[in-house]
Amino acid sequence: MSDIRSNIQQQNLFLSTMVCKADCYLRIQNIFKPHYFHRSLVQTAEFIQTYADTYKAMPTLLEVKSSTNVELSPLNLTTASEQFFYDDFERFVKHVAMNDAILASVDYLESGEYGSVEKLIKDAVSIGLTKNLGIEYFNETKERLQRLRDKSNLVPTGWRDIDHHLFGGVGRGELSVFCGSSGVGKSVVLMNQAVNFMKQGLNGIYFTLELSADLCAKRIDSLITGISTKEVLKRINDVDLTLKMIEKTSGKLRIIELPAQITIAQLKVCIKELEILTNRALDFIIVDYLDLMLPAGVKISVSDQFMKDKYVSEELRNLAKEHNSVLVTASQLNRQAHESNDLGHEHISGGISKINTSDNVFAISASASEKARGELKIKFLKTRNSNGVGNYVTLDFDDQTLKVNDKLQTSSATFGQANASKILGLEQKLVTKARAVDANELMELSKFIKKGV
């Protein structure tokens, strides 16, 4: 591999540009590293950096020469030459950083620390000048408000009341976490979420780190077809026919079973191969569940759950941003949650670390009486982009099909059922040859039909 630091003339020009125009140094100082330069210029680069940090100004050409014995060139920079400097210096730094990362990766490869290799390469690739300098507050009023009004980045969860408190749904590039005690239904909620997304025509992937892929698929069979989990295996033909019909209007879902203690690197491998295989982007990613993962590139004691969950949460959120996808996962509640009637941050296993990173955090609970009524209660513990925190939503849960639905409005449902029954009775009279239908009954039927019941 050729020494990319060998172009001394290019690097001399970089340093000359910085000294002749302080603004150029200020713009690149976040990626300026003296050790990136040729060994004959490292001392000069260190002098310029130290001088700028100490005196908040750039040294003169004479000061540079007297202190480092290196002569820089006086320059009269144009706008074009300034832009060339920014572009060329950024390319140079990226090249050097990548070269150093590759060389440093050798030891990690030999010891099998692939996560550390990934981190080195990722850090090198991410080096660059800041392109986004924000918004000019008073000058972009209409544009920024229009962006906020645009809901195209929001994806409805499919549950009416939850979407209401989220101002429309969950955002792409966001991390949402459903927390619950063991056995309360975290996996079931995640599967329902996947089905709700598919109904919108969205494509996704479901990573299961605890249950088998076949068992997950079987449960989703019940969710989609309405056939109870006990009957699915007895009615294979019915399930197959129903799914073939639904597939035409539904999004696609890939279910992948992985072992516990995996890292984000393994998820990325699966996602990349799936995208190549199917040639389609992912709208949503579901991981069942966060607590069973380990961070990549960082050695953390398994007993240090706070730091483990912090890094894993950050990596999952970054994954969502990289793919512009909705990412939904689950987490365990601690023992104190069993004794509490009002769940809060203090009941989440691992604590505040994952809450700080997540965009939305929901607590799932179901008391004995709620279970008897077939209900799940969802509390909003955190919503980054809405005012839903502290609110509760009650959802209906069918333990036969595992379907989680919006809570029915009792009065309107009863009214609709009563009208439907009455219409059915009147229609039966119309088709029954055994008796005649009088004018009053026909008028009553017409009245109900006009109402659109």
Tokens of 13: 């020009």
DSSP-based three-state secondary structure for 359: coil
| CA distances in angstroms from 105 to 31, 113, 119, 268, listed in the order given | 21, 9, 10, 19
CB atoms within 10 A of CB 177: 27
Buried/exposed 13-38: b ≥16 CB within 10 Å, e otherwise: bbbbbbbbbeebbebbeebbeeebbb
Spatial separation of the C-alpha atoms in residues 131 and 361, rounded to whole Å: 32
In this predicted model, which residue has the larger pLDDT, 199 or 131? 199
- Answer positive or negative: Cα dihedral of 228, 229, 231, 235: positive
Identify the band that residue 51 occupies on the pLDDT scale cut at 50, 70 and 90. very high
In this predicted model, which residue has the larger pLDDT, 441 or 363? 363
Single-letter residue type at 321: K
DSSP-based three-state secondary structure for 363: strand
Tokens of 308: 């483990």
**What would the DSSP string read from start to end of 246-260?**
HHTTS--EEEEE--T
Closest CA to 258 of 285, 283, 298, 231: 285
Spatial separation of the C-alpha atoms in residues 260 and 303, rounded to whole Å: 15
Q: What is the dihedral of CA 66, 70, 74, 75, to 10 degrees?
A: -140
Q: Model pTM?
A: 0.66
Identify the band that residue 421 occupies on the pLDDT scale cut at 50, 70 and 90. very low
Tokens of 40: 């004959």
Q: What is the pLDDT of residues 238-281, one digit of tens each?
A: 999 999 999 989 999 999 999 988 888 889 989 988 888 888 88
Spatial separation of the C-alpha atoms in residues 157 and 378, rounded to whole Å: 13
Instruction: State residue 129's pLDDT score.
Output: 77
Instruction: State residue 408's pLDDT score.
Output: 80
Alpha helix locations (H) across 157-263? 160-165, 186-199, 213-225, 236-247
In this predicted model, which residue has the larger pLDDT, 231 or 111? 231
Closest CA to 92 of 124, 133, 58, 50: 124
Spatial separation of the C-alpha atoms in residues 293 and 277, rounded to whole Å: 25
| Across 110-124, 314-328, 394-408, least confident range | 110-124
- What is the average pLDDT value for the chain, to the nearest integer? 83
| Across 158-167, 173-182, 434-443, least confident range | 434-443
Counting residues of the chain whose pLDDT is more than 70, the rounded percentage is: 83
Instruction: State residue 345's pLDDT score.
Output: 62
DSSP state of 336: G
Q: How far does the chain reach from its first CA to its final CA, in angstroms?
A: 76
Tell whether the model's pLDDT for residue 412 goes beyond 60. no
Instruction: State residue 388's pLDDT score.
Output: 85
Spatial separation of the C-alpha atoms in residues 245 and 115, rounded to whole Å: 43
**What would the DSSP string read from start to end of 44-100?**
HHHHHHHHHHHHSSPPPHHHHHHHHS-PPPP----HHHHHHHHHHHHHHHHHHHHHH
CB atoms within 10 A of CB 218: 15
Spatial separation of the C-alpha atoms in residues 439 and 446, rounded to whole Å: 11
Spatial separation of the C-alpha atoms in residues 74 and 17, rounded to whole Å: 8
Instruction: State residue 197's pLDDT score.
Output: 96
Spatial separation of the C-alpha atoms in residues 97 and 431, rounded to whole Å: 82
CB atoms within 10 A of CB 402: 21
DSSP-based three-state secondary structure for 13: helix
Tell whether the model's pLDDT for residue 53 goes beyond 60. yes
DSSP state of 296: S
Closest CA to 41 of 22, 69, 17, 3: 69
Tokens of 225: 């077809």
Fold of 149-406: Rossmann fold (3.40.50)
Residue in the block written with tokens 């969502």: 320
Spatial separation of the C-alpha atoms in residues 110 and 443, rounded to whole Å: 85
Spatial separation of the C-alpha atoms in residues 136 and 325, rounded to whole Å: 28
Q: What is the pLDDT of residues 296-351, one digit of tens each?
A: 867 777 677 788 888 888 999 999 999 999 999 998 886 665 555 666 666 566 66
Tokens of 279: 């040639």
Alpha helix locations (H) across 325-375? 352-357, 368-372
In the chain, where the domains are located: 8-125, 149-406, 415-450
Residue in the block written with tokens 């590139």: 297
**What would the DSSP string read from start to end of 257-304?**
E--TTB-HHHHHHHHHHHHHHH----SEEEEE-GGGB--SSS---TT-
221 burial (CB, 10 Å; 0-12 / 13-18 / 19+) is buried
